Amino acid sequence: MGDENVQNVGIIVNQLIEICDREVIVYDPQSHFDYPNSNIYPMGHVEGKASKSGFLFPPDTSSTLQYDAISTALQKQPGSDMLINSIHLMDVTTVLFFTTTTYRVEGTAAKMKAGEQALQ
């Protein structure tokens, strides 16, 4: 019985100090809706991220985290309206009772000008 208890305690301690890291990767051709009859002008490569942490329970990973990461990226290129050809990465790291979710985006910032294309 004593060896079983030692083994169980060892398993519990291992689970408590285990660092768990997961990553989800998604390709997105555009971050925002582009208006019909509009021109899209690429402006340059940008990156952005947003994080949320939680104790005991994982943080809520709502679309707000994604929006904050995209907004951070777009602020790095003044005048940009959207991201094109972007990669979205979500990292979830758990250490002991703390969980951190980090949402990262990188892609091309672009400006959209509506109504300047000739209609056919």
Using an 8 Å Cβ cutoff, are 101 and 61 in contact? yes
- What's the confidence (pLDDT) of residue 18? 58
Residues 6+ positions from 51 with CB-CB distance below 8 Å = 65, 100, 101, 102, 103
Average pLDDT over residues 7-32: 64
Spatial neighbors of 15 by CB under 8 A, at least 6 apart, are none
| Tens digits of residue pLDDT in 32-49 | 666 677 788 899 999 999
d(CA 5, CA 25): 41
pLDDT digits (tens, 9 = 90+) for 58-117: 787 778 898 999 999 999 999 998 898 899 998 888 888 888 889 999 999 999 887 755
What pTM value is reported for the model? 0.72
Structure confidence at residue 3 (pLDDT): 59
